[in-house]
Amino acid sequence: MRAAIASAIPAAIAAAALAAAAASVSGCSLDYGAVTAEEKVAETIPDTVAIEMTHKVHQDGRLALSFEAGRAETYGALKKMVLSDVRFVEYGADRAPSTSGEARHVVYHTDTENAEISGSVRVRSEAEKAGIATESLAWENKRKKLTALPLAKVVITKDDGSSITGRGFTGDFKTREVTFNGPVEGMYVWTEEEE
């Protein structure tokens, strides 16, 4: 079975790293252990926090992506963005929605463009007339692979009535193939277009 469920989470990272201050102990000596501790604490504090954020990407004079998050936190030193209550719509060249989705939580790595997506994950592709639903997915950008944890249940539905539920899901966006390495059940509607 093939499915194309593409989404890209935009990298909108603010470049402002927090500098840690060192405390002097006595005389001219410095406590370098305190610097290390402060730097580690600073990494856990977001550089930027946005509430009810909307981000729109325009390409060639048209809206290409509309992205919303209830909360967005950026961590420059850790090269990641943590998003809550995420919704997105990707638009095709015809300006119509091509892919849409939502999740409760997304951790986006700005250096690799990989992401961990969790909490009522729903993605729909208009081109494939299909959708995917699960609790957790991981996107590996370099390999263009979307995977679920081995025991996580993934449900793929198509507008033609097909519905496949399985475990061990991998979606390969280079080959446009979907595989399940665990148990699978459901019904696949074969159409004349696929022959």
| pLDDT tens-place string over residues 91-112 | 988 999 999 999 999 999 999 9
Structural domain includes residue 136: yes
Contacts of 76 (CB under 8 A, 6+ apart): 13, 14, 15, 16, 17, 47
Helix or strand holding residue 127 (H, E): none
Structural domain includes residue 17: no
Q: Which residues pair with 12 in a beta bridge?
A: none
Q: What is the pLDDT of residues 20-34, one digit of tens each?
A: 222 222 333 344 455
For the chain, what is the domain count? 1
132 within 8 A of 155, measured Cβ to Cβ:
yes
| Residue 138 domain boundaries | 47-194
Structural domain includes residue 118: yes
How far is residue 23's CA from residue 30's CA, in Å, rounded to a whole number?
7
How far is residue 20's CA from residue 29's CA, in Å, rounded to a whole number?
17
Structural domain includes residue 3: no
The domain that holds 81 is classified in CATH as: 2.60.450.10
- When pLDDT is cut at 50, 70 and 90, the band that residue 11 belongs to is very low
Q: Where are the alpha helices (DSSP H) in the chain?
A: 32-43
- When pLDDT is cut at 50, 70 and 90, the band that residue 36 belongs to is low
Structural domain includes residue 10: no
Q: Does the pLDDT of residue 3 top 60, yes or no?
A: no
Nearest of 169, 170, 164 to residue 143 by alpha carbon: 170
Task: Tell me if the pTM is above 0.85.
Answer: no
Nearest of 119, 150, 116 to residue 135 by alpha carbon: 119
